Amino acid sequence: MKTTVSIIKADIGSYTGHQKVHEELKKKAGELLKDEKSKGTLLDYYVASVGDDLDLILTHDKGIDSKDIHGAAWNVFMECTEIAKGLKLYGAGQDILSDAFSGNVKGMGPGCAEMEFEERRSEPIVAFLMDKTEPGAFNLPIFRMFGDPFNTAGLIIDPNMHKGFRFEVYDIKNHKKVMLKTPEELYDLLALIGAKSRYVIKRVYPGPENKVPENEAAAVISTDKLHEIAGEYVGKDDPVALVRGQSGLPAVGEIVEPFAFPHLVSGWMRGSHNGPLMPCSQKNAIPTRFDGPPRVVALGFQLNEGTLVGPMDVFADVAYDRARTKALEVADYMRRHGPFEPHRLGPEDMEYTTLPKVMEKLKDRFESI
Ligand SMILES: [Mg+2]
């Protein structure tokens, strides 16, 4: 039996401001998904939240892009939007860009990461949920997991992984994609994904001689860009990702290790600032300082015929305390820059914010020099 794991997420309202999903929304989501499970639509589910994002982790046997699954998630978001509106939560329904469901949540506001595979004898999977950042925030850690032998010892010592992995990279401005193979094309890959606001890793596949089939994704990242969908900036595109581990793939410890370095990502405060990505537990996934700093939560599961055994709240471990301390030091340093780059994003990325409206009034006052 093939199992599909889907994370479908949306910001449909939060309190106070952008800080937290209200418990009433999570409760309602759980009730609705329980019904879907009893009807047989879902094999299992887990409702999570990070900051203002409601994340539905779903397992089923209906494959990716299933109308039933996307419809069930859409229904959750619509019902929860009504609760959010009733509570006058901030940004109630903000990621719901259409009133009519057309069979798939793509292009309608929510973000989505899905993978279908034959369950192995043991199937560990890690769901990464981020808030106050963008899909390119996954470029560095995903590269380290699958391409960097200084992170992933398996690339050197596991014969399954020794021939490397294949990276599917999206050019999100031109809507094109390219497949690159490591280690052969390592430098080409880095030339692209270092520019994380334009080129984003969408999926990673096993290379040759891996016992995991070449056509089964080992990692998938949501890449939905809300401002591209709506034609203007209507909300941040906080990303999620799924990564499978062990037995030909990176060990779970190799999958989570990159987050011990709180790298700089964009999306903090009004989607307009760079800041450190702080790994944290579910309990601490409430970004309050300057609406940040950006957060990442890792939930580990073992799949058992589609049942989610877990989660393990990975970054609750004290082993990430130092990453958090470093993130807070970097947050202090970046905040001191106030409205200056590199805390504030560069002009190209600010085009999608409300800044152009401010600049509009100055445009006739410029003279030639
Ligand atoms: Mg968010």
Give CA–CA dist 283/328, Å, rounded. Answer: 17
- Residue 136's identity, in one-letter code, is G
Determine the pLDDT at residue 174: 85
* Centroid of ligand 1 to alpha carbon of 241 (angstroms): 15
> Hey, which residues are catalytic here?
11, 233, 236
Give the DSSP letter string of 70-109.
HHHHHHHHHHHHHHHHHTT-BTTTTT---SS--S--TTSS
Q: Are residues 82 and 155 in the same domain?
A: no
Give CA–CA dist 82/78, Å, rounded. Answer: 7
Give CA–CA dist 349/353, Å, rounded. Answer: 8
* Centroid of ligand 1 to alpha carbon of 63 (angstroms): 27
Determine the pLDDT at residue 230: 56
Q: Are residues 223 and 86 in the same domain?
A: no
Q: Is the peptide bond before 356 cis (omega within 30 degrees of 0)?
A: no
* Centroid of ligand 1 to alpha carbon of 52 (angstroms): 5
Q: Are residues 45 and 15 in the same domain?
A: yes
Please write down the HEC assignment for all residues of 107-152: CCCCEEEEEEEECCCCEEEEEEEEECCCHHHHHHHHHHHHHCCCCC
Q: Are residues 217 and 94 in the same domain?
A: no
CA of residue 151 relative to chain centroid, distance: 21
Q: Are residues 51 and 191 in the same domain?
A: no
Q: Measure the N-to-C terminal CA separation of the chain; round to a whole number of Å.
A: 69
Phi-psi region of 323 (alpha: psi -120 to 50; beta: other; left: phi over 0): alpha
Q: Does residue 367 belong to any structural domain of this protein? A: no
Q: Does residue 369 belong to any structural domain of this protein? A: no
Determine the pLDDT at residue 176: 92
Q: Are residues 113 and 151 in the same domain?
A: no
Q: Are residues 217 and 180 in the same domain?
A: yes
Virtual torsion, Cα 179, 183, 185, 188, nearest 10 deg:
100
Give the chain's count of helices (H) and strands (E): 11, 15
* Centroid of ligand 1 to alpha carbon of 273 (angstroms): 14
Q: Are residues 151 and 52 in the same domain?
A: no
pLDDT under 70: residue ranges of the chain? 225-236
Q: Are residues 219 and 235 in the same domain?
A: yes
Give CA–CA dist 86/143, Å, rounded. Answer: 43
* Centroid of ligand 1 to alpha carbon of 164 (angstroms): 33
* Centroid of ligand 1 to alpha carbon of 2 (angstroms): 31
* Centroid of ligand 1 to alpha carbon of 334 (angstroms): 20
Q: Are residues 200 and 313 in the same domain?
A: yes
Contact 118, 214 (CB under 8 A): no
Q: Alpha carbon of 347 to those of 159, 225, 272, 340: distances in Å?
A: 46, 18, 10, 11
* Centroid of ligand 1 to alpha carbon of 14 (angstroms): 9
- 165: number of Cβ within 10 Å: 25
Contact 122, 301 (CB under 8 A): no
Q: Alpha carbon of 229 to those of 18, 63, 107: distances in Å?
A: 21, 24, 6
Determine the pLDDT at residue 227: 54
Q: Are residues 54 and 145 in the same domain?
A: no
Domain C-terminal end among 118, 140, 167:
118
* Centroid of ligand 1 to alpha carbon of 207 (angstroms): 34
Taking CA 154 as the corner, what is the angle to CA 150 and CA 156, rounded to the nearest 5 degrees? 70
Give CA–CA dist 81/32, Å, rounded. Answer: 13
Do the bridges between strand 53-60 and strand 2-10 make them parallel or antiparallel, or are there none, so unpaired?
Answer: antiparallel
Domain C-terminal end among 103, 118, 133:
118
Tell me the three state secondary structure of residue 198.
coil
Please write down the HEC assignment for all residues of 23-44: HHHHHHHHHHHHHHHHHCCCCE
**What is the tens place of the pLDDT at every residue in 37-49?**
999 999 999 999 9
Q: Are residues 206 and 289 in the same domain?
A: yes
Q: Provide the domain count of the chain.
A: 2
Structural domain boundaries, residue 18: 1-118
Tell me the three state secondary structure of residue 223.
coil
